[in-house]
Structures are given as structure tokens and as C-alpha cells.
Amino acid sequence: MGDYDMNSLHGENFYLSELSTNEDLLRTFSSVFENYGFDIKRYKTAFMKRRLDRRMRILEIKDYLEYAMILKKEKPEFDELFASLSINVTNFFRDPVVYDKLKLSIMPKILSGLGQHGKIRIWSAGCASGEEAYSLAIMFSHAIEKTNNFDIEIIANDINKKAIEFAQNGKYSKKSVDTLPKEIIANHFQKIVDSKNNVEYEVVPPTKNLVTFKACDILSSDLKNLDVIFCRNVLIYYEKEAQELIMTKFHHCLKESGYLVLGMDETMLGRRCEKLFNPTIARERIYQKITVSNNLK
Ligand SMILES: C[S@@+](CC[C@H](N)C(=O)[O-])C[C@H]1O[C@@H](n2cnc3c(N)ncnc32)[C@H](O)[C@@H]1O
């Protein structure tokens, strides 16, 4: 265990057997994360443990306390672990049926609610490398292309800084765009070939400019008056209490009767959430905000 001071994590003595329960494990690593300004208590313990185990296997460390001490002293290792907590898997128009439902059933209602003019405001919460936000930009810009009456504003955030930098850059591999219809590629991407003959597809400025990316936690956002929130495949890693906190946040951020879209494997957990949102299109996990009385807010 080298120079690491095994007693300094909580200012109390530790024995390895003390980390035998998940609760101990989470308490110990929570304290390490808090030192760096992050709260991991919201994550599901099983998910957290899988991530810790993976890093420890790579480093050939068998002892959680030893790993906790390394994390405490070595910021680069902390950064590695933190990045591994953010699962960035995504793609353009992920679950196309969700986008179809949104286009056919929800978008007409949003547009008619705006009247003759107005701005459509959408949040891609937990956007990873940006494909979801750009898919929304593409879809909504097509929906309003025959009229000049509407503006589109898409705000996209992720806790992972590297993912946000990638998204802002807006350059995707051929494989990423391969499944998109040809006319979408032609209208929204520019093919770039570098000196080594690598091919990339960059989102064109009119589409790119519809999206503002920000590296931050969903819970730190202060957005208001949104028409739609996409928060897909993010909440699966969180405990029920954290999910409720995030749902309450979304409820505040949406307009009256605004829409929330979750991932296909995600559902509204708990009675509190049921009071905040109605499943409008349950199969595709599209929910609508319920206006609640003040004492529930
Ligand atoms: C699996 S990706 C989902 C991307 C996209 N929404 C989709 O469905 O394809 C989950 C993303 O959520 C981000 N994330 C997790 N918790 C977050 C939080 N509290 N605030 C912001 N982003 C978060 C992760 O960093 C990761 O990039």
C-alpha cells in the first residue's frame, strides 16, 4: 500500500473487513469524490461498484481501500474513473420510432400552441457526444422549413467535458452518419477529407448554430419555458431518490403541458413522479407535464 495513509479517509481507523458491505463501499468512495467536488451518492451502488471493479482490474488492485487512497492522491486516476462513470453510447436518431411519434403526434401540438410566431425550446439533457441534439435540430428544422415564423433553440448539456468538446466540434465518422438518409447527410453535413484521407462529416453551420452545448450537471441547470426535454438513457444509472430530484427539476423547467422524453428502458419511478407527469405515449416513453398545485411543487 506504499505511502498511503489508510487512516485519513474519514479520520478514523479502517480495516479491510469494514468495507464488506455496499454501504461501506459507497461511504468510502463518496468521501473521495466529495474531495474533488462531486456527489456519487445518487448513483446506483451496483453500477458504481462495476465501474470501480473495472478500473481496479485494469490496475491489478484487489483492495478497495488501497484504490480509494490512490484516487485521493492521484487526480489523473480520479479523472479516469470519473470518465468511466459517464457511459457515452449514443447515435443519431436513436430509436427512430421515438422521433417518428414526436414528429407526427407531438410536434403539431407544440407548433399550434406557439400560435403564428414563436420559439421552440428544447433541452437535450445528458447529450453525450451531441448526436441526439443534432437529430433534434435536423428534425425540428425540417418541420418548420416551409414557414419563417418559428425559431429553434436547442440547449444540450453533459457532465462529461470531453463529450461536450466533441459535440461542439460537430465532426462525426462515416460510420456514425452511415445510417442516416442521403438527403439528411446532403443537407446537414459537409464531407471533410484530411491529408491522410480520413473522412469525417461535419454538421453544417445552420444546423450547428441551433444548438448550444454546455458541460454541466443536469441538476445545476436553471432553464425555463422549455417545450421538450429529451433525457434518454441517463437516469438508468441513478437511484430512485436522485431520479425524483431530476424529474422535479424537469417539471420546473418545462412550460405548462411541455413534454419529457425518456429512454426506452426508463420509466417514471415513484408516486411523486406520477403526480408530475402523465404518460402521453407510454410505449415510446413520452410524458407530458401535469400542472400541480403549489403544495406539491
Ligand atoms: C448513455 S449516454 C445517453 C446519450 C443520449 N441521451 C442518448 O440517449 O443517446 C448518457 C450520458 O448522460 C451523461 N450524464 C449522466 N449523468 C449526468 C448528469 N447528472 N448531468 C449531465 N449529464 C449526465 C453521461 O455523461 C453520458 O454522456
pLDDT at residue 226 in the model: 97
Q: Mind listing the pLDDT tens digit for each residue in 55-92?
A: 999 999 989 999 999 999 999 999 899 888 878 889 99
Distance 158 CA to ligand 1 centre (A): 6
Ligand 1 centre and the CA of 126: distance in Å?
3
Domain-embedded: residue 10: no
Domain-embedded: residue 90? no
Does residue 256 fall inside a structural domain?
yes
> Do 142 and 231 reside in the same domain of the chain?
yes
What's the pLDDT at 292? Answer: 67
Instruction: Check whether residue 156 and residue 245 sit in a common domain.
Output: yes
Helix (H, G, I), strand (E, B) or coil at 139: helix
In this structure, are 105 and 208 located in the same domain?
A: yes
Q: Specify whether 111 is located in the same domain as 255.
A: yes
Long-range contacts made by residues 273-278, C-beta under 8 angstroms, separation at least 24?
273/243, 273/244, 273/247, 276/247, 276/248, 276/250, 276/251, 277/247, 277/251
CA of 184 to the centre of ligand 1 (A): 25
Question: From the CA of 233, how far away is ligand 1's center (Å)?
Answer: 7
Question: What pLDDT, on the 0 to 100 scale, is given for residue 213?
Answer: 98
Examine the fold and report which residue of 85, 112, 139 is the final residue of a domain before the chain moves on: 85
Q: Is the CB of 211 within 6 Å of ligand 1?
A: no
The CA dihedral of 72, 73, 75, 81, to the nearest 10 degrees, is: -40
8 A C-beta contact, residue 83 and residue 162:
yes
Tell me, yes or no, whether 59 lies in a domain: yes
Any ligand 1 atom below 6 A from CB of 88: yes
Strand partners for 120: 152
Q: Which of 242, 234, 218 lies closest to 85 in space, CA to CA?
A: 234
User: How remote is the CA of residue 95 from the centroid of ligand 1, in Å?
Assistant: 16
From 102, 213, 234, the mutation candidate for ligand 1 (largest count of ligand atoms within 8 A of CB) is 234
The pLDDT score that the predictor gives to residue 20 is 58
Cell numbers representing residue 81 in the block: 474513473
User: Per the domain annotation, does 104 fall within a domain?
Assistant: yes
Residues of the chain under the 50 pLDDT cut: 1-18, 294-295
Instruction: Provide the pLDDT for residue 75.
Output: 93
* Alpha carbons 13 and 11: distance in angstroms, whole number: 7
Instruction: Report how many domains make up the chain.
Output: 2
Residue 47 inside a domain? The answer is yes
Q: Which helix (H) or strand (E) holds 278?
A: strand 277-281
> Cα(219) to centroid of ligand 1, in Å?
12
Q: Ligand 1 centre and the CA of 3: distance in Å?
A: 36
Q: Are residues 218 and 156 in the same domain?
A: yes
| Domain shared by 125 and 224, yes or no | yes
Predicted local confidence at residue 24, as pLDDT? 82
Mark whether 149 and 253 lie in a shared domain: yes
| Whether the CB of 123 sits within 6 Å of ligand 1 | no
Asked if 177 and 288 sit in the same domain, the reply is yes
Same-domain check for residues 181 and 288? yes
Determine whether the shortest distance from the Cβ of 89 to ligand 1 is under 6 A: yes
Distance 160 CA to ligand 1 centre (A): 8
Same structural domain for residues 219 and 120?
Answer: yes
Please choose from 134, 135, 159 the residue to mutate so as to test ligand 1's pocket, defined by most ligand atoms within 8 A of CB.
Answer: 159
Q: Are residues 260 and 116 in the same domain?
A: yes
Amino acid 121: pLDDT: 96
pLDDT at 95: 96
Which CATH number covers residue 139?
A: 3.40.50.150
**146 found inside a domain:** yes
Secondary structure of residue 5 in the 3-state scheme: coil
Structural domain range at position 54: 16-85
Q: For atom 25 of ligand 1, which residue has the closest CA?
A: 86
Q: Whose CA is nearest to atom 9 of ligand 1?
A: 90
Q: How far apart are CA 281 and CA 163, in angstroms?
A: 30
Residue nearest to atom 3 of ligand 1 (CA): 233
CB contact burial 147-160 (16+ within 10 A = b; e otherwise)? eeebebbbbbbbbb
Report whether residue 170 contacts ligand 1, using a CB cutoff of 6 Å.
no
Q: What is the pLDDT at residue 55?
A: 93
